[in-house]
Every structure is written in C-alpha cells, then in structure tokens.
Structure 1
Amino acid sequence: MAMRYAGKYPRNRPVPAVESTGVASLLRIPGATSIMLYVALAAVTYAAWEQLWFQAARRRTGGKPAVPGPTHVIPLVGGLVRMVMDPYGYWENLRQQAMGGGSGLSYDSLVGKMMVFLTDADKCREVMAVNDPTRMMMTLHPSAKNILGPNNLAFMHGPEHKAIRKSFLSLFTRKALGSYVVVQDALVRQHLAAWLAKDEGAEREIRDDVRDLNQQTSQQVFLGPYLDDPAEQATFSRAYSDITLGFLAFPLCVPGTAVWRARQGRFYVLRVLEKAVSRSVEHTRAGGEPRCLLDYWTQRCLEESDAADAAGEPRPAHCTPARMADAMLDFLFASQDASTASLTWCVTLMADHPEILARVREEQQRVRKGDWSATVDGDTLAEMSYTRCVVKEVLRYRAPAPMVPQLALCDYPLTPEFTVPKGSLVMPSINAVAMQGFADAEAFDPERFAPERQEDIKHAKHCLTFGHGPHYCVGKEYAINQLTLFLALLSTACDWERRRTPDSDKWLYLPTIYPADSLVTFKPRA
C-alpha cells in the first residue's frame, strides 16, 4: 500500500518559490546555503565589532591622539601574516610608529589580541618588573609551556621564584666563573681549528657553525662529566635542537608537528638531566670538588636541604632532582639562542669594523704577550678591558632578545591617558630602548663603555639586554665571559672577511636576532 503524503502541500501542487528579497527570507533557505549565509553574516558582524573594539581600545584620554597603528586591523589574523613574511619590516614599522608619535607606544592586532609595542625606557622597565599573576606576567610563546614545561623559570613568581634565584648566586662567583673559562677556552679553540680546516678559503654562512660551538660549550660547562656517553650526547643535542625549532613553528601540539617533537625532546632532555643530577649528588656527597655548573648548584642545594632538615623544616622545592633538571633545561635554553646570536654578531661586526678589531688584537698582544697557545684563565680574561667593552657594545647595539613579551592579566594603566586592555600583549623593545639616551646611539662605539665615559652607568635605564626586575639574567657575567673569550681567541687565530649583500643590515628573527646573512671566509692568521 502506498504511504500517504504527510507534507503540507498535495503531491501535484507546486511548492511556491521562496521570496528572494530581505535577509529574513534568505535565512529561510534550507541546507548548506543557509549555513554558509549564517557563517558569512557572523564573520561580517565579528569583523565590524573587531574594528570598533580596536578603535576604542587604542584611544587615549585627555585629548591625546590615539595610539599609533593601523586605522583598520585585518580581521581575525591582524598583523600575523606580515610578521611571518617580513619580520624585520614588521617590527621596524612598529618601532618607527612608536618613536614618531612621541608617546613611545604603537599597536597592532595579532590574531584578535591587542599588541602594544613599547619604546619608552621607563615604561619598558616598569612592565618587565611587574611579574604579578593578577596584573602582568612574562609570556614567551603560545607553545612555551608545551615546549619548556610548566615549571620553567620564565613562568615562576613570588617566594618560590626568589628562593631559587637566590640559590643560583653560588653558580656565578668569581671562582665558579674562572673554572668555566678554562673549559670554554679548550672548546672554542677546538671549534676554531675545525672552522679553519673545513673548506679552507671557502665562503660559508657561519651561523650554524657558531650554534654548534655554543651548544657544545654550554653542555660541557653546565653538565661536564655527566654527559659522557657519545651516543646519548648526540641524541641529547638533537632533542635540544627540536626544542629550539618548536619556537619557530605554528603553535599546534599534535603528533607529527614541530611543537610535538619539541615536547618529546623536552621529555628526553629532562630524563638525561635527572640522571645527571643524581650522579652530581653522589659525587658531591662523596666530597668531590665541583667540576661543572651543575656540581656548584648541587653543592648549594645539598647545603640548603641539610639546613632545612636540621631545622625540622621542609626542603626547598627547587632541591628535588626533577626541579633541578627543569632549572638546568632553563639554563641551557637561555644560554643557547641568545649567546649564539651574539657570537654571530661578534664575527660580522668585527668584519664590518676592522679598525676596532685591530685594537682588540693590540690588547691581546699586550695581555697575552704573543703566547697564543697558553690557556686563557679568569685572571687573564679580566685584563681584557677593551675587548670587554667591544662585547658590551655588541650586546647593546644588537641585543639578542629584541623584546620580552608580557601578558596583561588586568586592565593595566600604562600611562595616565592609556590603559592596556586585559588579555593584551605588551612588547617592551630592548633594541629600541638601546638606541636612545647614549651618545650617537646608532653608531657602533665600544669606547662608550670605557672608564672615561661610563655610558652604561650614565644611561643605565637604557641597558636592558639582560632584562630588568625579577627575571633579570643571573648568567650575565657568564655570557659576557663567553663572548669576550671567543673574540680574544678568534682575533688571534683567524683572519676573516664578510661578503655584504643588500640584506646584510637587516635582521633574522630565529627567535633571537641574527644578521640576515653572515657570509664569511676564514683563513689562519699568520
């Protein structure tokens, strides 16, 4: 039996056409077309709302002009595409807008978030010093917690953060730094010899060679005899490279992605580091002298733990093997990208300024008396005052970490006329600040750090290369020693030339800044 038709209209009667006028009638069209129209309407509505929100958010009170930036933001993505395609041009444009407007502020949209770019030295120092989970905190990257883990120092604040930083003081005493210099000396010489033997006289991009030198130096200084298995060391280095590459990838953590590999790399690195901590504890408990940075810290942590036990108090949270491994990962991460960038700048800037390199060599002759094979120790390094000035100028002129991103966790009153909306990114520009205050700041001039001028003291608020506030770099002196020693040995072992291109004065963001190209030819110095 045929089923009766249950529709509204008889079978043979045509269904009236749907009216085509008016939004309401369009939305009555059934199926996929209707869904597409709803989506399109929602997108248009959101885009219009987004424009209005950003126009309101950038306003300043008191009759002041709005914060410089795009009149109309690109819906949804904002400046992301340009930032990825042309990072140098993107950040330089924000810097020019902030400096040109006189307020030290500019803004853009970044995937729907407001991003406020700062070039005013006082305001940069202010936001970097907050470190308050109710107001503003440092933020690294959308994938940072996946890559580095939730216990990384960058995410710490309050008493626990102060306690662990206090325990780090023993790692950078004069005695400890002097013991590191001897290790650094041997490794730098080893790599320079390899550079000279590799494709002698051929031009090459030096960035990767510098990265390898710095990576091995960091591993040996920090972990010493505890990374003694060649196979494990090779896997450790690959895993660490995966961690670094995760910061350059799209922030998606699923199997097969770069962030996923970075996360797995962290797990492997932490397992190796925990094992190293256990061996260091055993060595120290047996009365062994410190042989690497980890041993110095183990010694300190055992002293703190024993004191807590004697007082009947809980041991410090940072003294467990797992938390010590987390901190060692942070040291490796902090020392790798920033120092690699600065070492690369040392090579290129000295090639660009041969008159300064000549003075470095004059000082090396005076201090080391032509005995280039003798190991440079801490005392010898301390006599290299001009070479140290050159290094400080490299760090000022091209600060490796160009910005220290902060996340506003409330509506933050940045100035009397402007409040940063909650959820916004605030980007203090270290390099923009360094190009203010100093005499002829755009010039590369190591003499500014000489005792006669002391511009680092006179313009201290513009010296933010190593940060400011609770996250100020505890390894500052170690980093300066590494660069000073490298330049001292490089200047006496090698002659080199740099081939400049139209892009040579631009920067690469990886994520620390490098010369856009560092095409160098080395040869042994006669």
Structure 2
Amino acid sequence: MAIISTLLGFELHAVLEACLFAVGLYAVASVLTFLYFASIHRFKVPGPTFVQPLVGGLVTMIRDPFKFWEDQRLFSPNGYSWHSIFSQFTVFATKADLCQRIFAVNGENSLTLALHPNGKIILGNDNIAFQSGERHKALRASFMALFTNKALSLYLPIQERLAHEYIADWSKRFPHGGKPEEMRSYIRDLNCETSQEVFLGRHLHNRKKFTENYNNMTEGFLSAPIYFPGTALYKAVQSRKLVIHDLEEAVERSKQYMAQPDAQPHCLLDFWTATISDLVREAKERGEEPPTFSDNERMADTMMDFLFASQDASTASLTMITATMAERPEILERVRAEQRTLRPNDEPLTYDLVQEMKFTRQCVLEQLRLYPPAPMVPMLAHAPFQIDENFTAPKGSLIIPSLVGSCREGFTNPDEYDPDRMGDARQEDRKFAKQFIPFGVGPHRCVGYNYAINHLTVYLALVAHHAEWKRTRTPNSDKIIYLPTLYPHDCLCTWKARGGNKQASA
C-alpha cells in the first residue's frame, strides 16, 4: 500500500507539474503574442487589451460574430482598430474616408478580397469576386445593360407576380390565431425563385434540382474547411459542378434565342448575351480574340456569382424590413397610405410608379443604412498599406472596411431607424453620401444595387398593401445575427391577406 501511495503521489505530482508548465507556457505565449502585435502598431492603434495565442479573437467571433464585430467597431467608432484573427493581424476600419480609400484599391500588388476560406474552393479562382485589374474592369463594363431602366422595367412583372403568390401562400399557411412561423427560410424561397426567374428566365430547366444543388453550395460556405467525401464542403464542390453545368446550358439557350431575328430579352441573361454578342462581333472586326468571359463556362460562372450576390444579401434585407415594419405600425401605415394614393385601383406596378414611391423607398434606404446586408468586406494586403500618417498595416494583414461603421458616421441619432432622414426635408442620404455606402464603393461595388433597391421597394409596397402580419416577440427579438449577412435573431409571424385599397375604402 505504501508503494502504491508513493506511486500515486508521484503521478499526481507529475500531472500537477505538467499542468503548471502548460499554464506557464500559455502565459508566456499570451505575453509574446500581445507584444508581437503591439510592436506592429506600437500601441498607437485602439484594440483589445488581451489577445489569445494562435487563435486570437477567432473563438469569440465564432460564438457571437455580430457582437464581436460590434465590439470591434466600438473600439474606434470613427477611425480604425486592431485585432488578431487566427494570428493574422487585422485592421478594422470604421471611418468613412478610410473605407472609401480601401475600397478604391484592387490589385494583386495591393489589396484583394479575402472571403471565407471555403470561398475559392467552392466558387473557383475565376469567380468575379477574386478578379482584379483590367480583366475585372472589362467584365464589369459588360454589365451596363443589365440594370438600365428598360431592364428593371422588364423584371418588375416577375417580382410582382411572385410576391403576390408568396404573400397569398403565407396568409393561408400561417393565419392570425395560428402558430407563428419563422419567416427567414420562406422569404429566402421567395427571393431565390425571383432571382432565378429574373436572371435566367425560361432558359433554366430542372429548377428543383438546380435549387437543391445551389443550396448545397451555400451551406458549404460556412462549413468546416475539411474536404473529403461526406463533408459539407465536398458536397458543395460536387454540387457546384452540377450548377455550372445547368448554367452553361442556360447560357447556350440564351445565345440561340437572342441570335434569332427580332428577339427581345426576357431576362437578365438575355440582356447580357446581347452585349456579349456585340463584343465578340466587334473583336472579330478588329481581328482580335473575343473577351475571355464570353465563352459559356465563364458566363455560367458569372451568372452563378450574380445568384450568390443577390441571394443572401437580399434575403437578409427582406427579412429585416419585414421585422422592422411589424414593430413600427405607424411607419407601415404611412407606406400603405402612399400605396393608396399611387394605386387607387390596385394598378399593377410600373418602373415609373415605383420611382414615385418616395416614402416606401426612404424606408428601404434607411433599412440598408442601419443594417447593410453585407456588413464588412475583408481585404488582404499584398504589400504594406498606409492607413494614415501615423500607421501602416504590414503586408499580410487583413484590412476590413466596416459598412456598418461608415453608414452610421455623421447621421443624426445613427442607431435609430428613421426613414424621414432620407426625405426631401433632411436629405441625410445626400449630406452624408460619402458615408452612405451599403453596397460598397469602387471596383467591387455591387453592380446590381439599383436592382436590389427596386426589389426591396417592390416587396415592401406589395406586402404592406396586400397583407397584415404580426410578429411574435421573444427575449432575443432585438438581437442581430451574422450569417454572414445581417438578420434579425427571429422573425416569427402570422399573416392575413388584405383587400388593398378596396378593403381600405370599405
């Protein structure tokens, strides 16, 4: 027994020593990590007082991303701050002038977009998000015809029809007095179908299977970066191949359709196909090679990017504005009053009519200002980048301009939802035009921002005019979640169809 006790005591002593050594090693690593990053910014940049070795703020960010980035923003609400993400030095920029300057830079020798680690694996290296320089500029120039007044007018009947169908369905499935339903996935379905109809029209076949594969891709974006059969990332990559195949076929159908005499575009792809046809013809007349983005595979890749860009960002804003209006009946009534004035007989929407919806549009712009759907855009520094006269971020840093930070700089009571700030009397959207950048600015500004604003305005106009909805609040209803676009923590609603102006008049 004495021998056993001695051995146990020795083992416990060894375990205790090992634990103390590990704690000491961690403490030393913590100090060295902090001193390393402190030496980079020489204690001149606001930021955390403690950084965990190796992981930095990664664990905290994963637990509650929105709170993590909001805390980071509050280190310096109108400037910049630092943190460490998995031992990568990170500069978080909130000052509008600085955000503008960062967004203006785009090149392999300066700054390039740095998406989720799974981004390049799923989307591929040729995706527009990863392009820069003249090639990227030429590709974006080919989009000019896709979002003109003529094109937006063509998309409107599709948006209106699908919104009516979904509102009617919600009113039947989730009636007042019944169990409230979380609306995020249902609004996503509406947005997904609208994007497919508007962008691809009748050229996209087998939509059910296409949507399933597309959803596999989006799920892979936020999965663990582990690639082997059975993982979400592997499934996403395999699904991407099928998505691209379907999109290549859609591109070919569009090319054949638009080659017919007197063919008229019926979707976004047709507008782009017409532009591509002109570019190819002009290149041939000059004896040059056609643009690299004119073949079916590259066009399919770009159409996939359009679908991604419109899907999560617009779904987030549509869900946000649904929750916002449920909480502000007095503002919702003003939207309805505007609809009664502009559409006394429930007239169908036209482009000009939507432009007259000034207050409805103010509500949309204010929603985008308060919660930009893509709250930040990480950039990787390929060379030292001067932040200001006092500080230069080293090569290899992540530099993250905050759209949330910029969109709240200068505005009166910036944390309040106040659509009147966007009206003719106050014109804060014009006074603070430099700060109001919910779609970014520069080479990677969202090319479809006019479509996105129209889409949100049409949705709000129709849902306000033709439906009543009640939101069931929970203890978390005022929280925001980061997916990585910004959503209300919950949007539990029941629905009831309205008779529009006819019912209101009765």
TM-score norm. by structure 2 comes to 0.91
- The aligned counterpart of 1:91 is 69
In the TM superposition, what whole-angstrom CA distance separates every residue of 1:336-390 from its partner, at most 9, and x where no partner exists? 000000000110111111111111000100111142xx43122221221211111
AA aligned to 2:260 is A
- The aligned counterpart of 2:58 is 80
1:130 to 85, 99, 105: 105
Contact kept? 1:403, 1:430, Cα under 8 Å: yes
User: After the TM superposition, which residues 425-440 of structure 1 pair with which residues of structure 2 at under 5 Å, given as runs?
Assistant: 425-440=398-413
Query: Counterparts of 1:85 and 1:72 in 2: how far apart (Å)?
Result: 18
| Change beyond 3 A, Cα 1:93–1:41 | closer
Deviating more after overlay: 492-501 vs 471-480: 492-501
In the TM superposition, what whole-angstrom CA distance separates every residue of 1:7-66 from its partner, at most 9, and x where no partner exists? xxxxxxxxxxxxxxxxxxxxxxxxxxxxx9x9999988766543331121232xxxxx53
1:421 to 378, 394, 401: 394
AA aligned to 1:471 is H
Query: Counterparts of 2:22 and 2:142 in 1: how far apart (Å)?
Result: 55
In the TM superposition, what whole-angstrom CA distance separates every residue of 1:405-426 from its partner, at most 9, and x where no partner exists? 1111112111111111211111
| Residue 196 (1) aligns with residue 174 (2) | no
- The aligned counterpart of 1:29 is none
Query: Counterparts of 1:162 and 1:87 in 2: how far apart (Å)?
Result: 33
Deviation at 1:145, TM superposition (A): 0.6
2:229 to 255, 262, 276: 255
2:355 to 358, 365, 382: 382
- The aligned counterpart of 2:191 is 214
1:369 to 344, 349, 364: 344
Unaligned runs of 5+ in 2: 1-18, 500-506
2:153 to 147, 159, 178: 178
Query: Counterparts of 2:413 and 2:474 in 1: how far apart (Å)?
Result: 25
Deviation at 1:93, TM superposition (A): 1.2
- The aligned counterpart of 2:34 is 51
AA aligned to 1:479 is A
Deviating more after overlay: 492-501 vs 250-259: 250-259
- The aligned counterpart of 1:5 is none
- The aligned counterpart of 2:257 is 283
| Residue 337 (1) aligns with residue 312 (2) | yes
Query: Counterparts of 1:131 and 1:363 in 2: how far apart (Å)?
Result: 42
Deviation at 1:334, TM superposition (A): 0.3
Q: How many residues align?
A: 478
- The aligned counterpart of 2:162 is 187
Say which SS state the counterpart of residue 501 (structure 1) adopts: coil
1:227 to 185, 192, 204: 204
| Change beyond 3 A, Cα 1:264–1:475 | same
Instruction: State the identity %.
Output: 45
Deviation at 1:464, TM superposition (A): 1.3
1:472 to 445, 448, 462: 445
Query: Counterparts of 1:128 and 1:262 in 2: how far apart (Å)?
Result: 29
Query: Counterparts of 1:126 and 1:253 in 2: how far apart (Å)?
Result: 36
| Change beyond 3 A, Cα 1:471–1:369 | same
Query: Counterparts of 1:370 and 1:167 in 2: how far apart (Å)?
Result: 40
Deviation at 1:83, TM superposition (A): 0.8
AA aligned to 1:286 is Q
Say which SS state the counterpart of residue 340 (structure 2) adopts: helix
Contact kept? 1:247, 1:511, Cα under 8 Å: no
- The aligned counterpart of 2:423 is 450
AA aligned to 1:97 is F
Deviating more after overlay: 196-205 vs 212-221: 196-205
- The aligned counterpart of 1:489 is 462
Query: Counterparts of 2:359 and 2:25 in 1: how far apart (Å)?
Result: 63
Contact kept? 1:105, 1:118, Cα under 8 Å: yes
Contact kept? 2:171, 2:494, Cα under 8 Å: no
AA aligned to 2:118 is S
Query: Counterparts of 1:322 and 1:350 in 2: how far apart (Å)?
Result: 42
User: After the TM superposition, which residues 250-329 of structure 1 pair with which residues of structure 2 at under 5 Å, given as runs?
Assistant: 250-287=224-261, 288-329=263-304
Say which SS state the counterpart of residue 422 (structure 1) adopts: coil
Query: Counterparts of 2:306 and 2:459 in 1: how far apart (Å)?
Result: 20
Deviation at 1:94, TM superposition (A): 0.8
AA aligned to 1:304 is L
AA aligned to 1:430 is L
2:478 to 501, 505, 514: 505
- The aligned counterpart of 1:463 is 436
| Change beyond 3 A, Cα 1:131–1:199 | same
AA aligned to 1:158 is G
In the TM superposition, what whole-angstrom CA distance separates every residue of 1:273-306 from its partner, at most 9, and x where no partner exists? 0000111110011132111100000000001101
| Change beyond 3 A, Cα 1:170–1:146 | same
Deviating more after overlay: 215-224 vs 492-501: 492-501
Deviation at 1:472, TM superposition (A): 1.1
In the TM superposition, what whole-angstrom CA distance separates every residue of 1:218-254 from its partner, at most 9, and x where no partner exists? 00100100123xxx21111111111211222222222
Contact kept? 1:128, 1:138, Cα under 8 Å: no
Query: Counterparts of 1:226 and 1:508 in 2: how far apart (Å)?
Result: 36
AA aligned to 2:270 is D
| Residue 243 (1) aligns with residue 217 (2) | yes
User: After the TM superposition, which residues 135-154 of structure 1 pair with which residues of structure 2 at under 5 Å, given as runs?
Assistant: 135-154=110-129
Say which SS state the counterpart of residue 143 (structure 2) adopts: helix
Contact kept? 2:103, 2:441, Cα under 8 Å: yes
Say which SS state the counterpart of residue 460 (structure 1) adopts: coil
Unaligned runs of 5+ in 1: 1-35, 60-64
| Change beyond 3 A, Cα 1:44–1:348 | closer
Contact kept? 2:203, 2:253, Cα under 8 Å: yes
Which has the higher Rg, Structure 1 or Structure 2? 1
Deviation at 1:153, TM superposition (A): 1.0
Deviation at 1:116, TM superposition (A): 1.4
Deviating more after overlay: 194-203 vs 173-182: 194-203
Query: Counterparts of 2:355 and 2:49 in 1: how far apart (Å)?
Result: 53
